[in-house]
């Protein structure tokens, strides 16, 4: 199979659900903007050169339904001939979309594709607008439909991850993110137009547009003492709180993928190539352990040793599950989420896989790291992982 090269990988800021900068910005506008920006920031590339757009979305309904992968491409001004699809693997949807975009190039079916992700948790809530579990099967295996917070409590209890450990992890995530913001390290972010409605003197509301250029959920003032005061959310005597869980967030991201021939024809310098991608299943009631199994599997597929991986982006769905996976695999914590993770920066569900790709590739290039791994747990009891190799 051919190599698939990622030449551009960008994201919007991640902004807090219902309270953040994107609360009045429709998801189609977020996604169409980042698709347009990805092409605009790729020298010599035109929209007509793109053959297909794969978009991850965890809850593809309402404003982000009706095949948002196709609709957003049209809103962004891609020709009618450029096709689009929506991919759903819950928390890894964005990474799944990038992997499928890469597969088309690797198989020789396409020369240029886009893989990306989107989620507006403001417009479409966690679980969707009308969840309807199967009435008989839900009695047999209710864990498939259980709150993700309960699964985080299960991981903490079964694998002895204490409340102080979780709060310490959450604190470090916030501090790393705050420091990265202060130093201007989130260069994968594209300043993004956002909408808001303001009351006019006439008593009506007018739509205004402003530019949002930072993740607005980072809490630089976080303290361990403050985290310790938060009450458990999912179990009366539990250890999982709002402070050591990921933030619900709005955002979009996109990566442009090309064949080697197209890269050379356009005179581009690619960022990285996707070496391998995999998914695994695990018990639904402890879905957070997914990366513990997906990471070794993807490294085995690629023939790469864990010690040779220089950076990891492991989604911080919950501190309990992230701690367990890092600890169980023996990963050096200094290599994980150097600019903070989802506890500080947010977890926009279907966008996260594409968002973390942009962050990982940026950090690999900055540090000259050859191999980087992105991984996350997935609702329903799964894990996903991808291995990227930096291009010279």
- In whole angstroms, what is the distance from residue 294 CA to residue 283 CA? 13
Place of tokens 């498939």: 144
- For residue 392, with 0-12 CB atoms within 10 Å meaning exposed, 13-18 middle and 19 or more buried, which class applies? exposed
DSSP one-letter string for 151-168: HHHHHHHHTT--HHHHHH
- In whole angstroms, what is the distance from residue 318 CA to residue 348 CA? 14
Which of 15, 102, 282, 347 does the annotation list as catalytic?
347
14 bridge partner residues: none
- For residue 184, with 0-12 CB atoms within 10 Å meaning exposed, 13-18 middle and 19 or more buried, which class applies? exposed
Query: Can 134 be counted among the known catalytic residues?
Result: no
Is there a contact between 176 and 333 (Cβ–Cβ < 8 Å)?
Answer: no
Nearby residues of 68 by Cβ (< 8 Å), 6 or more positions away? 27, 28, 31, 55, 57, 60, 86, 118
Helix ranges, 303-368 (H): 319-329, 342-345, 352-367
Which of 57, 91, 357, 391 does the annotation list as catalytic?
91
- In whole angstroms, what is the distance from residue 157 CA to residue 162 CA? 8
Percent helix, strand and coil across the chain, each to the nearest 5: 40, 25, 35
Q: Which of 217, 183, 175, 179 is nearest to 13 (CA)?
A: 217
Distances (CA, A) of 179 to 14, 314, 359: 17, 19, 15
End-to-end CA, the chain: 21
3-state secondary structure of 44: coil
Beta-sheet strands, E only, within 226-380: 249-258, 272-281, 311-314, 371-378
Which of 15, 102, 357, 377 does the annotation list as catalytic?
377
Query: Can 91 be counted among the known catalytic residues?
Result: yes
3-state secondary structure of 372: strand
Q: Indicate which residues carry an active-site annotation.
A: 91, 347, 377
């Amino acid at each position: 199979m051919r190599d698939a090269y990622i030449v551009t990988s960008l994201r919007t800021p991640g902004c807090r659900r219902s309270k953040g900068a994107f609360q009045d910005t429709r998801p189609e506008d977020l996604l169409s903007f980042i698709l347009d920006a990805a092409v605009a920031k790729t020298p010599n590339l035109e929209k007509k050169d793109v053959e297909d757009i794969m978009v991850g979305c965890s809850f593809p309904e309402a404003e982000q339904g009706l095949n948002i992968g196709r609709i957003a491409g049209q809103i962004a001004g891609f020709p009618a001939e450029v096709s689009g699809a929506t991919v759903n693997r819950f928390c890894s949807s964005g990474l799944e979309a990038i992997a499928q975009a890469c597969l088309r190039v690797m198989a020789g079916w396409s020369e240029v594709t886009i893989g990306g992700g989107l989620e507006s948790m403001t417009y479409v809530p966690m679980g969707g607008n009308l969840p309807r579990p199967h009435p008989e099967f839900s009695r047999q295996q209710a864990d498939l439909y259980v709150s993700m917070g309960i699964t985080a409590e299960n991981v903490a209890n079964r694998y002895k991850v204490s409340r102080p450990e979780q709060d310490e992890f959450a604190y470090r995530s916030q501090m790393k993110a705050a420091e990265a913001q202060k130093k201007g390290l989130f260069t994968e972010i594209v300043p993004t137009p956002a909408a808001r409605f303001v009351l006019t003197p006439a008593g009506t509301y007018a739509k205004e547009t402003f530019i949002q250029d930072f993740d607005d959920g980072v809490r630089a003032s976080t303290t361990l003492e403050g985290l310790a005061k938060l009450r458990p959310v999912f179990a009366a005597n539990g250890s999982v709180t709002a402070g050591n869980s990921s933030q619900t967030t709005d955002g979009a991201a996109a990566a442009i993928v090309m064949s080697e021939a197209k890269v050379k024809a356009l005179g581009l310098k690619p960022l990285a190539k996707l070496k391998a991608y995999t998914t695994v299943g695990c018990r639904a009631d402890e879905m957070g352990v997914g990366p513990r199994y997906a990471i070794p599997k993807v490294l085995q597929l690629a023939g790469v040793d864990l010690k040779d991986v220089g950076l990891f982006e492991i989604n911080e769905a919950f501190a309990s599950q992230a701690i367990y996976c890092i600890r169980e695999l023996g990963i050096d914590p200094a290599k994980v989420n150097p600019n903070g993770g989802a506890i500080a920066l947010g977890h926009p569900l279907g966008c996260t896989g594409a968002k973390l790709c942009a962050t990982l590739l940026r950090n690999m290039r900055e540090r000259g790291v050859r191999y980087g791994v992105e991984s996350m747990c997935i609702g329903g009891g799964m894990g996903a992982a991808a291995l990227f190799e930096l291009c010279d």
